[in-house]
Chain A
Amino acid sequence: MIKTIFFTVLTLAFFYIVWINNIFAPHEKYEMPPEHRMIAMDYKNAKEGRELFIQNCASCHSVRYDAIYPAQVQANPMLKQLQEKYGKVLPRDVYEAVFMNDLNSMKESYGKIPPDLSTIYLVKGPEYLYNFILEPQKVLPGTAMPPVMTGRPEDTAKIIAYLMSVSEPSPAEKAKRNIMGVVTIGYLIVMGILIWIWRERILKRMGLH
């Protein structure tokens, strides 16, 4: 009995550390004021954030999963034709091949092609993005990204809300997934209990108890 408890606790603690919260692994922490966090986490700000993104960031960055392309690509007449053929979200190989000249000229200006931001929210999380967008030089010294949002933390938070909306499922979708999850888990637990009851009965009948 003691052995069972010992091994169970040890195993659970182990998987807690490696799967859920590795207190030993290195972590980077960035701060974000709670009121701006609230704005960034609110899906309703995504629409406004999208406008702000187009005004401030889309001159350099694409969000391909939302069919937002850098200004120079947007100005290229090929874009419309390609979108008619492939749909609004262009395949990456087509995009990079056709707009190679536009992308290369941005590379010449900034030293590298400004990255596509479709999944950046999932990679970096809101705290990093908040600090980076407000003060790029402080977070990534020597970066080619200009401080376009200095002194506008609310708007920055709204842009983050937009980036979140591109990567994460919408609240309605999330609610649907949560219900699916609860139903699935509930079903399995009920089945487990039913199998247990059934087993008790059968074993009693067979005299195996």
Chain B
Amino acid sequence: MIGRIGRWFDERGKLSKLWQSQMVDYKVPKNLTFPYAFGVMATVAFLIQIISGIFLVMYYQPNIHTAFDSVNYTIMKEIPFMWLIRHIHAAGANFFLAIVYLHIFAGIYYNAYKKPRELTWIVGFFIYFVLLATALSGYLLPWGQLSYWGMVVTTEIPTSIDSAPIIGKLKIGETISVWMKGGYELGQITLGRFFGLHIWLLPLILLGLVGFHFYLIRAHGITSPDGREIDKKKEGVPFHPYMTLKEGVYLMVYLAIFFFFVFFYMKHFLPADNYDPADPFKTPAHIAPEWYLLAFYAIFRSIPNKFLGFVMFSVALLLLLILPFLDFSPLRSTRNRPLFFVMFVVLVISSMALTILGSMSPTPTVAFLGLIFTLTFVSFFISLPIISILELRKYKAEGGSKND
């Protein structure tokens, strides 16, 4: 009976054909390494956020008087198992961002952004950007001290445009800031709009972007770790079962680590200060953004002029976006590019150092180190055209043409 229903459905839905063409006939290089699994993990992390989020909205109240209690009393204490959902959602957001960062760095390492995959990279960048906005808006919802003051600081960022020489007079930054908050103070309107953004608009945009990202990946096939485009007919292995099962194993390990944090170590994902209800009259001693924004925060903070800080912070994001066009070398994958490897290590270490500097108290030493690592961070992007020219020359001297 079940078999017959299945067959009825399949004759009409053609799902087994879809599976065959997209999963089995789809060929991938045999030697894909562990970092290639970050994409699958990110997908699963996204699904976890959507499912846990749907349960959270059932009890969450987007009202500045009751939001805190709806989270910390109703969800955490009153309704059975909702604590688990909140733990999953809060840890899940951090894991999602961690995986997306790792995915980005893996993409840089294997030069996955090169022709014809520039658009895949750009779409990925926007996924990252919208994801940051999603996490930021979600963090406001529990309406604790960190939620509140974190958003106060975030909505102040645009006002740094106003310290620019001439355009500052126009007070564009302040206008943007008021427009973000929906008033001069953070209040009910702010919470309401960020709730709306967080629970449907931003996830919907993410869903669209992720779908497009997938389509592009399927359209161009996957890069290989040694940088060659494979001849799919001869060398590739079927995605299913070769990769699906391998990544399935990685996924189980990932989920095991994830659930270890969910059950046993929520201290960082539900920070102590956010158990204090938001109080507009009490500024907490340390306001630092979440860890995934600390690198940008450190860049912003270590530059003495606010406007220049804002420019630098936007430039850092922009450089990431136009990365495919900075690196026009014919060589692919760091495995074949010793110079690129050195600069990649510089990039990784500066990003990590900036993140850690962002969490420290702002002493002059920290600001100075922040400036140094900002420069090394940017030096990666500046070095790319130079490395590309060097490699292009060598490549031509050895008789390769640019287009193979």
Contact = CB atoms under 8 A, between A and B. Distances in A.
A119 B275 contact: yes
Interface string B332-370: 000000000100000011001001100111000000000
Contact of B272 (A15, A89, A122, A199): A122
B256 interface: yes
A54 to B, nearest CB: 20
Nearest to A21: B268
Contact of A195 (B102, B245, B273, B294): B245
Given A93-B66, A189-B252, A189-B256, A25 B291 contact: no
Interface in A42-66: 64-65
A78 B41 CA distance: 54
B249 A192 contact: yes
A202 B241 contact: yes
B402 interface: no
B275 A122 contact: yes
A185 interface: yes
B355 A202 contact: no
A208 B273 contact: no
Given A123-B273, A203-B241, A15 B98 contact: yes
A199 B291 contact: no
Contacts of B248: 192, 195, 199
A155 to B, nearest CB: 24
Contact of B252 (A22, A89, A188): A188
B286 interface: yes
A26 B275 contact: no
B73 A89 contact: yes
A26 B360 contact: yes
B65 interface: yes
A202 B256 CA distance: 25
A116 B256 CA distance: 37
A107 to B, nearest CB: 12
Given A122-B275, A185-B256, A188-B255, A199 B98 contact: no
Interface in A144-183: 167, 169, 177-178, 180-181
Nearest to A186: B256
A169 B80 CA distance: 12
A191 interface: yes
Interface SS of B by simple majority? helix
Nearest to B361: A26
B94 A19 contact: yes
A180 B263 contact: yes
Contacts of A206: 241
Contact of A119 (B72, B94, B241): B72
Contact of B256 (A3, A92, A125, A188): A188
B242 interface: yes
A169 B84 CA distance: 12
B77 interface: yes
B72 to A, nearest CB: 6
A24 B102 contact: no
Chain A contact-residue range equals 35 or more
A125 B272 contact: yes
A91 B249 contact: no
B276 interface: yes
Contacts of A64: 69
A19 B252 CA distance: 21
A203 B259 contact: no
B356 A18 contact: yes
B260 interface: yes
Contact of B73 (A15, A65, A93): A65
Interface in B226-254: 237-238, 241-242, 245-246, 248-249, 252-253
A5 interface: no
Contacts of B73: 65, 89, 118
B265 interface: yes
Contact of A199 (B241, B268, B275): B241
Contacts of B348: 7, 10
Contact of B276 (A22, A123, A125, A192): A123
B155 interface: no
Given A89-B73, A192-B253, A199 B263 contact: no
A117 B242 CA distance: 56
Interface string A194-208: 011011001100101
Interface string A7-23: 10011001101111010
B352 A25 contact: no
A104 interface: no
Nearest to B334: A3
Interface of B: 63, 65-66, 68-69, 72-73, 77, 83-84, 94, 98, 102, 237-238, 241-242, 245-246, 248-249, 252-253, 255-256, 259-260, 262-265, 268, 272-273, 275-277, 286, 288, 291, 294, 341, 348-349, 352, 355-356, 359-361
Given A92-B65, A169-B83, 9 more contacts: A7-B348, A18-B294, A22-B359, A92-B69, A116-B277, A119-B276, A124-B272, A185-B263, A189-B252
13 contacts: A3-B341, A17-B356, A18-B268, A18-B294, A22-B356, A22-B359, A65-B77, A184-B263, A185-B256, A191-B252, A192-B256, A202-B241, A203-B242
- Which 8 A-B pairs rank lowest in CB-CB distance, beginning with the nearest? A181-B263, A192-B252, A93-B65, A199-B245, A122-B275, A188-B256, A119-B275, A18-B291
Interface of A: 3, 7, 10-11, 14-15, 17-20, 22, 24-26, 64-65, 89, 91-93, 96, 116, 118-119, 122-125, 167, 169, 177-178, 180-181, 184-185, 188-189, 191-192, 195-196, 198-199, 202-203, 206, 208
